[in-house]
Amino acid sequence: MLKEHLEKIAGNYDYILIDCPPSLGTLSTNSLVAADYFIVPMQAENFAFIGLDRIMSVSEKVQKRMNPSLKLAGILFVKLVPRTKFSQAVITNLSNNEHFKNKIFSTFIRQDIALMESGAFKQSVFEYAPNSRGSEDYMDFANEIIKKYEIFK
């Protein structure tokens, strides 16, 4: 139903982005059925690979059964503290992985209190803290995805 509704209104928009919760429930699965591309936000943490493995497994099933055109646009590191050895190790590990090495965005979203506060005040980070690292990172990411993948043209 979501795919059908989005098809009706797609001509009115340049892009339609669906931000899903960090679980693989009904909204996330339906969004994959309706999507052309998906982005995996990932934290450089101990259990991050488990989450990545789960979303890739679900996306493969959705691709086989309901949406053969579904593609991974890339992996976006979020809440990243790039100086830590663990963060660097996670990035290196994925960069060397045959399936993901060309799917890691060069832009990453650094840990920034403005991102948490903006959500608490029900504002975008661009409204709440337009000069913050978070707003800068998200703007850089938007520019990267449009330029590198040209998926929204």
Please indicate, yes or no, if residue 40 is contained in any of the structural domains: yes
The closest of 37, 125, 43 to 78, measured between CA atoms, is 43
Please indicate, yes or no, if residue 70 is contained in any of the structural domains: yes
Please indicate, yes or no, if residue 54 is contained in any of the structural domains: yes
The closest of 143, 152, 69 to 105, measured between CA atoms, is 143
Residue 48 Cα to chain centre, angstroms: 14
The CA distance from 111 to 135, in Å, is 11
- Per-residue exposure over 6-21, b if at least 16 CB sit within 10 Å of its own CB, e if not: eeeeeeeeeeeeeebe
Please indicate, yes or no, if residue 138 is contained in any of the structural domains: no
Please indicate, yes or no, if residue 65 is contained in any of the structural domains: yes
Residue 25 Cα to chain centre, angstroms: 16
Kindly indicate the confidence band of residue 108, based on its pLDDT and cuts at 50, 70 and 90: very high
Please indicate, yes or no, if residue 134 is contained in any of the structural domains: no
Find out whether 96 and 126 touch, Cβ atoms under 8 Å: no
Q: Specify the number of domains making up the chain.
A: 1
Mean pLDDT of all residues belonging to the chain: 90
pTM for the whole structure: 0.87
The reported pLDDT for the residue numbered 102 is 87
The CA distance from 2 to 151, in Å, is 20
Please indicate, yes or no, if residue 30 is contained in any of the structural domains: yes
Distances from the Cα of 89 to the Cαs of 64, 82, 95, 108, in angstroms?
A: 32, 10, 10, 15
The closest of 109, 118, 137 to 40, measured between CA atoms, is 109
Kindly indicate the confidence band of residue 86, based on its pLDDT and cuts at 50, 70 and 90: confident
Question: What is the span of the domain harbouring residue 19?
Answer: 2-79
Q: Tens of pLDDT along 28-57?
A: 999 999 999 999 999 988 788 888 999 999
The reported pLDDT for the residue numbered 149 is 60
Find out whether 74 and 149 touch, Cβ atoms under 8 Å: yes
